[in-house]
């Protein structure tokens, strides 16, 4: 499919074509991430995405502080049979990072819905993780007719006590300094989130550090940690409406060495929601299973897609 056709919503064909001319940043490892970059205008800002392959749509939605680079292994393998679309949320990756934008998860969810509508995506399989989970599920519960399957890795859909505490912990002057001036999210939390830090090479870590290289470019990461607290109503809405997607085929991938989104607390909640889902526990991996166990992740996704085809 031509990536600049079948557009609706707030994006015109001219917007997308014009934005294809954006140059790649000097730091981008094109061997690891050898995809054509596309840019769409959402709410007046440039949102980066990749669109590889043809066929049924696999929409990949990242969390924080990563970007679509996280899904490179999935895109390389799955694009042989499917259309892989992976965007960078505003404030992340190769997308614009305007200082005055709304970076709450609800705002990301609204932009995601506009993006999906603009590209005319239907019959979608959502692949998501971390904060991308509730952001993408916001779309799923409001547009269940366009969602065919859901694949989730180490994520949540509830206002959990430890997340409320984490949001409050950093919602102060020290937390702001750590996130904006020091770059705590990418420098510290990414390595700490690995089950085995040796699985994070300096080169790969650099691909996550580079987009967040200034205080201005880190605003979105700080906004999302702040939003860990005080969002109970939004999570309650997601849970209330989740009955509408409870019958969807679901694959749950979980890195069991996750220190931040622990399986012991989260998996029972997911299993209560999706009783017929397939749950895959990856013992060696931490929070970012796509980085630590890419072959296992892709194999499980391929099997799930074939079984539910």
Say if 8 falls within a structural domain: no
Mean pLDDT of 227-238: 96
Query: How many domains is the chain partitioned into structurally?
Result: 1
* pLDDT above 70 for 261: yes
Q: How far apart are CA 278 and CA 267, in angstroms?
A: 12
- pLDDT band with cut points at 50, 70 and 90 for residue 166: confident
3-state secondary structure at position 55: coil
Predicted confidence (pLDDT) at residue 17 exceeds the cutoff of 80: no
Minimum mean pLDDT among 6-15, 99-108, 128-137: which range? 6-15
Residue 192 belongs to some domain of the structure: no
Residue 20 in domain: yes
Give the pLDDT score at 96.
Answer: 98
Q: Cβ distance 7 to 1 under 8 Å?
A: no
Where is pLDDT greater, at 208 or 19?
Answer: 208
The two tokens of residue 151 are 């694949």
- What stretches of the chain show up as alpha helix (H) in DSSP? 13-19, 72-78, 105-119, 132-142, 161-170, 173-176, 184, 190-193, 202-209, 219-226, 232-241, 263-273, 289-292, 294-307
Which residue range is the domain that position 109 belongs to?
13-160+233-307
From residue 195, how far is each of 143, 160, 225, 255, 288 by CA, in Å?
35, 22, 21, 8, 9
Task: Kindly state the helix (H) or strand (E) to which residue 58 belongs, with its residue range.
Answer: strand 57-61
pLDDT for 23: 78
Q: What is the pLDDT at residue 18?
A: 39
CA-closest candidate to residue 90, choices 53, 140, 39? 39
Indicate if the pLDDT at residue 51 is higher than 80. Answer: yes
CA distance 221 to 225: 7
The string of pLDDT tens digits covering residues 60-81 is: 999 999 999 999 999 999 999 9
**pLDDT single digits (tens) 107-121:** 999 999 999 999 999
Domain membership of residue 5 (yes or no) is no
Evaluate whether residue 167 is within a structural domain.
no
Residue 6 lies in a domain: no
Whichever domain contains 42, its CATH number is: 3.40.50.1820
Asked, for residue 254, whether it belongs to a domain, the answer is yes
Strand partners, 49: 38, 87
Is the Cβ–Cβ distance between 184 and 283 less than 8 Å?
A: no
Is residue 175, in this structure, part of any structural domain at all?
no
């Amino acid at each position: 499919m031509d990536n600049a056709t079948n557009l609706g919503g707030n994006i015109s064909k001219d917007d997308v074509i014009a934005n294809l001319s954006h140059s790649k940043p000097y730091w981008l490892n094109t061997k690891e991430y050898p995809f054509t970059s596309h840019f769409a205008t959402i709410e007046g800002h440039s949102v980066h995405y990749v669109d590889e392959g043809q066929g049924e749509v696999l929409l990949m939605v990242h969390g924080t502080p990563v970007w679509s680079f996280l899904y490179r292994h999935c895109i390389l393998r799955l694009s042989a049979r499917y259309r892989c679309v992976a965007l960078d949320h505003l404030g992340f990756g190769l997308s614009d990072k305007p200082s005055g934008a709304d970076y709450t998860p609800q705002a990301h969810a609204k932009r995601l819905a506009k993006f999906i509508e603009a590209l005319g995506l239907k019959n979608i399989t959502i692949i998501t993780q971390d904060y991308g989970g509730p952001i993408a599920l916001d779309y799923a519960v409001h547009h269940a007719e366009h969602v065919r399957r859901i694949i989730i890795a180490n994520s949540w859909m509830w206002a959990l006590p430890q997340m409320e505490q984490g949001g409050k912990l950093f919602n102060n002057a020290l937390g702001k300094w750590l996130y904006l001036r020091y770059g705590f999210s990418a420098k510290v939390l990414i390595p700490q989130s690995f089950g085995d830090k040796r699985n994070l090479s300096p080169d790969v870590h650099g691909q996550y550090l580079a987009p967040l290289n200034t205080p201005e470019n880190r605003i979105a990461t700080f906004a999302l940690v702040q939003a860990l607290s005080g969002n109970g109503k939004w999570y309650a809405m997601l849970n209330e409406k989740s009955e509408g997607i409870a019958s969807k085929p679901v694959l749950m991938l979980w890195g069991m060495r996750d220190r931040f989104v622990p399986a012991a607390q989260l998996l029972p909640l997911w299993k209560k929601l999706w009783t017929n889902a397939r749950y895959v526990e990856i013992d060696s991996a931490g929070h970012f299973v796509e980085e630590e166990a890419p072959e296992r992740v892709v194999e499980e996704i391929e099997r799930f897609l074939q079984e539910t085809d």
